[in-house]
Amino acid sequence: MSVKSCRVIIPLVLLVLLLLLSAGTANAEELHPPAKVVLATGEWRPYVSPDLEDGGIVCRIIREAFSLSGIEVEFRPMPWARALEQSKNGTIDGVAAWGGWRTWASTHLGSDPLFQGDLVLWQRADRKPLDYESTGATKGLRLGNHMGESLPCQFLKAYEQGDVELLQVSSYQTLLDLLFKGRIDAVICNRRVFLSAIKESGNMVYSSAFAPHPKPLRTSLYRVIFSKHTSYAYQLWQAFNTALFQMRESGRLRTMLHELDDSLR
């Protein structure tokens, strides 16, 4: 090989090595999550609300988990639909907390579950539990639920056939009043949400007036969902899940959820 060729090749080799080193450094930097994460939250008492202490148990769990990794959390309250849309396009880093999976699975990474929640059929305590699984048992049934919440599959077919009447309202307190007065036969609601509504009503009669059906309609897992639109989504997801695992193993997560349940009694 000529001296001239060496003079050309050696700088090129050095340039390639420099580029590889720079790429390796950049990749190493990307392995670390950001120092601050921005998550949207909505209104869903007693789990989360800007009016609750520390924003509610959802915010407390997330804040404590990320603190184990030295990550600060900013929560931005907004309507749930807007929260999901902003998270999809990467305006924010994610949403806390979300159940199901169909609305977000293609655009987000879902954390390990923060908690599970039962969707329950609530009736007046002096009524016999509805046998909604028997053929024709739901005909003429008057149901109530909160506006924006979907009808569970157990009643969907009957509703589409016109056998079930559904009244959707924007206030859980209104649902309590309607059920107590007998204007609807049952309310479909998350167990803790309904108990929270009873407590917030301040009506002592309501504390013993209602009873949940012995069989939940559905049990859902609620997670933090991280937008795939950000370059560090996987790092956030990994850091959070690692910390959440530590909280679960230490019993801290169980203690926090027990405290929530105790506050609703």
Beta strands in 53-174 (DSSP E): 72-77, 94-98, 108-110, 115-124, 141-146, 164-169
Task: Give CA–CA dist 17/11, Å, rounded.
Answer: 10
Q: What is the pTM of this model?
A: 0.85
Handedness of CA 77, 43, 241, 103 (dihedral sign): negative
Q: What is the pLDDT of residue 259?
A: 97
In this predicted structure, which of 98-102, 141-145, 172-176, 255-259 has the lowest mean pLDDT? 98-102
User: Please, what is the average pLDDT of the chain?
Assistant: 89
Q: According to DSSP H, which parts of the chain are helical?
A: 3-30, 57-67, 80-88, 153-160, 172-180, 191-201, 233-250, 252-263
Percent of the chain with pLDDT strictly greater than 70 = 88
Task: Give CA–CA dist 157/137, Å, rounded.
Answer: 13
User: How large is the average pLDDT for residues 201-207?
Assistant: 94
Q: What is the pLDDT of residue 115?
A: 98
The pair of structure tokens assigned to 104 is: 């977000």
Domains detected in the chain: 36-117+220-263 (3.40.190.10), 118-219 (3.40.190.10)
Residue type, 205: V
Highest mean pLDDT among 4-13, 31-40, 226-235: 226-235
